[in-house]
Structure 1
Amino acid sequence: MSTQENILKVRLEAPAHGGHTVARHEGRVIFVRHGIPGELVSIAVHDDGEKARFWRGDVVEVHEASEHRVTHFWPQADSLLAASRGVLPVGGAEFGHISLEAQREIKGQIFLEQMTRLGKIDATKHGFTGVVAPEGESADALGWRTRTAFVVDEKGRLAMSAFRSNDLVPIKEMPLAHPKINELELWDLPLAGISRIEVAVGSGDDAGVLVLFIEDGTVAGAAGRAAKRLPEGTSAAALTQVAGSASDGRGALQRLRGRTWLSESVAGHDYRITGEGFWQIHRLAPATLIERVMSQLAPSYGTRIADLYAGAGLFSAPLAKAVGDDGMLLSIEGAPGTSKDALKNLREFPQAIISQGRVEKTLSRELNTRKAKLDSIVLDPPRTGAGKAAVSAMVRSGAKKISYVSCDPASFARDTADLMSAGFRLEAVDVIDLYPHTHHMETVGLFVRH
């Protein structure tokens, strides 16, 4: 924790992207976490060198609380409680002290600010009406994470990191995680020799669970011993860091018990996701996003569609079915292991072309080889966004409609500016709260060529 000399009393102003609220002290901008706009608080300041462009801080005491402040559901993520104990709060639930309604209002303000500043447009004139919860969300919006990751500290304890810190916080619960993840009681396993644990659970009622142990190489057979202590019916695998990886460059995947993959069923399609392969995190996200994308693109029989950053084929499968045998579905994914999953998940569709590689190069190459043009595109890029090269490739593809799924408003805004400069207009935009109690949000925008 920061020393007493670094404690400032400030009035919090507007929210800022990244889970912060802006404060000012003697002309210096400070990005503050764990506050709410309008509050008068004391903050512990860090990153506060004289040459720093801005400082950062965490709320350690509230003098005038917002009406939207609530008791944090997770004590270890509560900044005020952590400060009273002289420790740092665990990351991953930085909005847990704010009512859900206010969280979504704040996220809407951030989305509008990013679109205005980086996208150069007023999103309210392009269909944005606010941040909404997915249909079927629980009243407390807990237990939604079907994928989560933990680290193991030097004492062999299950832990998570504090924000922007190397400090590890031992934990024995993760309230945002699916109940089946907490039921594993991973904190009671012998974890010496394991550096990281990734857990995935299927989103269905009969969901399977896969635990992936990443070994640090210091203790032989560490993952195997931990796996033996897991509840019956739980699958487990080990990932060891060796050359010649068979698992997306991260290591060799070894089955310990059960399977090395999970099955998912969404909107009538079955999917296989191997090991650490990408899948949407919120239990309601796959069905919610398929519905939005299919509604925006309205694919018809015989059309040609590309699914970029396609992962295991979440959107590829329903799109391939919709375009039929006379259409074309081009599914492009960069990660080799995940692309192999897409091959399995789309094997019933001869109209599906699965290609692994960088989107900006692979899209152009595949279309040039087939001398084809696209009718529409769906893309779900990483948090950094598509970028200018990928946007240029999409523009050259001939697509008239683009459904853009984004988990970051800043990169979405930047790509929006590039798409609009290239002749597209933002026809509609939905922002969905698929990351409750965090600052993240999911955007689905429809772009139509002029």
Structure 2
Amino acid sequence: MTPEQIQPNRKRPFRQGNAEQNARMQAWLKHQLAQNTRIRKTIELFCGSGNFTEVIAQAGCPHTIAYESSLGAILSLRQKQLPGVEAGVVDLHQPYVWKTLRKSIMDADTLVLDPPRSGLKNSRGFFESFASLKTIYYISCNPESFARDAWTFHKKGWWPSDIQLIDLFPHTPHVEVMAVFNKPDGLPAG
């Protein structure tokens, strides 16, 4: 980065700090998506500037809507012009966000979720808004918030079918959790 490119007091979009481990997380998601042959519409929450959106697009998911609260991150993602990807700015922690998004997410069968350390946090109305959801890919940077959200998923009838851990920052307590949740066939999504 040149001195001209440095802009003090400007928040930059989130970026994973360990490129090698990030590539492993992307490979995990790519593998998981390849196992799912029934993907029609994918929603990605907390997409940032497209770290996992690129994997979703490369996996051939026909229609993806990616949401993030940072306009700068969404503008970066849109510049990538990924096939089949729409990107929108939404504060995913606002109280009535799921009601606001219901029309665009209700027919999605696949969800990729990569929240900040606080986790999903706002699950009121979440499952009811995802009426057609079959598979959730959850990538978490905080095992505590992941455990809380996983318990919420379990109470709604979702079961983990795969859980992987990645030591993103060796010699620190930071661990990424990657999990796949499925709803047993025949049960409603909410």
* Equivalence for 2:14: 278
1:236 & 1:371 partners in 2: Cα distance? Answer: 38
Instruction: Tell me the CA shift for residue 319 of structure 1.
Output: 1.2
Alignment match, 1:320: 57
Matched, 1:358 2:95: no
Gaps of 5+ in 1: 1-209, 212-226, 228-234, 241-246, 251-275
How far has the Cα of 1:328 moved from its partner? 1.1
CA contact (8 A) 1:330 1:355 kept: yes
Pairs within 5 Å for 1:40-439? 210=1, 227=3, 236-240=5-9, 250=11, 276-298=12-34, 299-300=36-37, 303-323=40-60, 327-345=62-80, 347-349=81-83, 351-359=84-92, 361=96, 364-368=99-103, 370=104, 372-389=106-123, 392-394=125-127, 396-397=129-130, 398-439=132-173
Q: Secondary structure at the match of 1:438?
A: coil
Relative to structure 1, the CA distance from residue 239 to residue 300 in structure 2 (aligned partners, 3 Å threshold; closer, same or farther) is farther
> Structure 2 residue aligned with 1:446, among 166, 172, 180?
180
Q: Once the 2 structures are TM-superposed, how far is the Cα of residue 322 of structure 1 from its aligned partner?
A: 2.7
Per-residue CA distance 1:344-373 (angstroms, 9 max, x = gap):
12x142x211111122655553441x4851
Shift in CA distance, 320/395, structure 1 to aligned 2, threshold 3 Å = farther
Partner of 2:7, secondary structure, is: strand
Task: Return the alpha-carbon distance in structure 1 between the equivalents of residues 31 and 128 of structure 2.
Answer: 22
Q: Residues 93-143 of structure 1: CA distance to partner in whole angstroms, max 9, x if unpaired?
A: xxxxxxxxxxxxxxxxxxxxxxxxxxxxxxxxxxxxxxxxxxxxxxxxxxx
> 1:84 aligns to what?
none
SS at match of 1:402: strand
For residues 361-413 of structure 1, give each alpha carbon's deviation from its aligned partner in whole angstroms, at most 9, with x where no partner exists: 55553441x485111111110111112427x4245312111111111111000
Paired with 2:14 and 2:145, the residues of 1 have a C-alpha distance of 19
Q: Structure 2 vs 1, CA of residues 323 and 304 (structure 1 numbering), >3 Å: closer, same or farther?
A: farther
Q: Which runs of 5+ in 2 are unaligned?
A: 185-190
After superposition, what is the alpha-carbon deviation per residue over 1:399-440, rounded to whole angstroms, capped at 9, x for unaligned?
A: 111111111111000001000001101111111111101111
Question: Over the residues paired in the alignment, what is the CA RMSD in angstroms?
Answer: 2.4
The verdict on how the C-alpha distance between 1:386 and 1:371 changes in structure 2, with shifts beyond 3 A counting, is: closer
- Structure 1 pair 366/328, CA: closer, same or farther in 2 (3 Å)? farther
- Taking the aligned partners of 2:105 and 2:179, their CA distance within structure 1 comes to 28
Structure that is richer in strand per residue? 1
Which amino acid in 2 is paired with 1:341?
S
- Equivalent residues of 1:293, 1:378 under 8 A apart: no
Q: Deviations over 1:175-196 (max 9, x none)?
A: xxxxxxxxxxxxxxxxxxxxxx
Q: For residues 364 and 310 of structure 1, do their structure 2 counterparts lie closer, same or farther at Cα, with a shift above 3 Å needed?
A: farther
TM-score normalized by the length of structure 1: 0.37
Whole-Å separation in 2 of the counterparts to 1:362 and 1:342: 21
What is the CA distance between 1:297 and its match in structure 2? 3.3
For residues 296-334 of structure 1, the C-alpha deviation after alignment (integer angstroms, 9 at most, x for no partner) is 23354761111110001111122123345xx21010001
Higher helix share: 2
Instruction: Report the CA distance between 1:238 and its aligned residue.
Output: 1.9
Q: 1:371 and 1:318, CA in 2 relative to 1: closer, same or farther beyond 3 A? A: closer
Q: 3-state SS of the aligned residue for 1:284?
A: helix
Q: Look up the match of 1:87.
A: none
- The alignment partner of 1:238 has SS state of coil
- In the alignment, the residues of structure 2 paired with residue 435 and residue 384 of structure 1 have an alpha-carbon distance, to the nearest angstrom, of 18
Paired with 2:108 and 2:178, the residues of 1 have a C-alpha distance of 20
Aligned to 1:55: none
Corresponding residue SS for 1:431:
strand
Preserved contact between residue 433 and residue 442 of structure 1 (Cα < 8 Å):
yes
- Cα distance in 2 for partners of 1:302, 1:442 equals 25
Higher relative contact order structure (alpha carbons within 8 Å, sequence separation ≥ 6): 2
User: How far apart are the structure 2 equivalents of 1:424 and 1:371?
Assistant: 18
